[in-house]
């Protein structure tokens, strides 16, 4: 008999989280419009841990940086092509080299350019970001969710 109230509370909590995240994700997605890409003279310089490899690119072109242990895959757009390169560097080190407010860490394995987001989906477990030019959904960890959503709300308004 005592399990029924626990199950009801868990279900109500799940439904509440799901409803809140779906509403917030839908609101941000509606506000995200096709924004004109403003090319800046600023550049991102990413240097590997052993200082032998360097990648310099425009912040508007960066899509996502994906980590796997001590290596990071940098994915960016060059013209109409999507390019990838592998740097021997941790995500933490690369994040410290990026000084743009819209390029943030959203997960233990991802840094994302929030200016490239065209859609956000959410469920009780968290959010997923969809980027122009990147075929995969980028997960947003619960610990980064609040910061990422605040920046997206600023961008979309």
The domains of the chain are located at 3-156
Fold of the 3-156 domain: OB fold (Dihydrolipoamide Acetyltransferase, E2P) (2.40.50)
Distance CA(51)–CA(37), nearest Å, equals: 31
**pLDDT reported for residue 25:** 82
- Read off the pLDDT band of 34 (50, 70, 90): very low
The model's confidence at residue 23, banded by pLDDT at 50, 70 and 90, is confident
Residue 36: pLDDT band with limits 50, 70, 90: very low
- % of the chain with per-residue pLDDT over 90: 62
| β-pair partners for 66 | 73, 110
Residues 6+ apart with CB under 8 A from 42: 58, 59, 100
The pLDDT of residue 68 is: 87
**Interatomic CA distance for residues 89 and 73, integer angstroms:** 9
Q: How far apart are CA 134 and CA 76, in angstroms?
A: 9
Which comes out higher in pLDDT, residue 138 or 31? 138
């Amino acid at each position: 008999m005592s399990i029924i109230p626990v199950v009801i509370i868990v279900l109500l909590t799940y439904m509440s989280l799901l409803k809140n995240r779906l509403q917030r994700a839908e609101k941000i997605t509606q506000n995200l419009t096709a924004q004109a890409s403003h090319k800046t003279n600023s550049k991102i310089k990413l240097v590997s841990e052993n200082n032998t490899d360097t990648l310099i690119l425009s912040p508007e072109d960066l899509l996502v940086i994906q980590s796997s242990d001590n290596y990071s895959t940098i994915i960016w757009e060059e013209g109409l092509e999507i390019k990838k390169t592998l740097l021997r560097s941790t995500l933490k080190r690369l994040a410290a080299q990026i000084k743009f407010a819209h390029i943030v860490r959203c997960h233990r394995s991802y840094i994302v350019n929030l200016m490239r987001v065209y859609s956000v989906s959410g469920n009780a477990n968290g959010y997923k970001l969809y980027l122009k030019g990147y075929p995969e959904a980028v997960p947003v960890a619960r610990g980064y969710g609040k910061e990422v959503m605040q920046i997206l709300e600023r961008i979309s308004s």
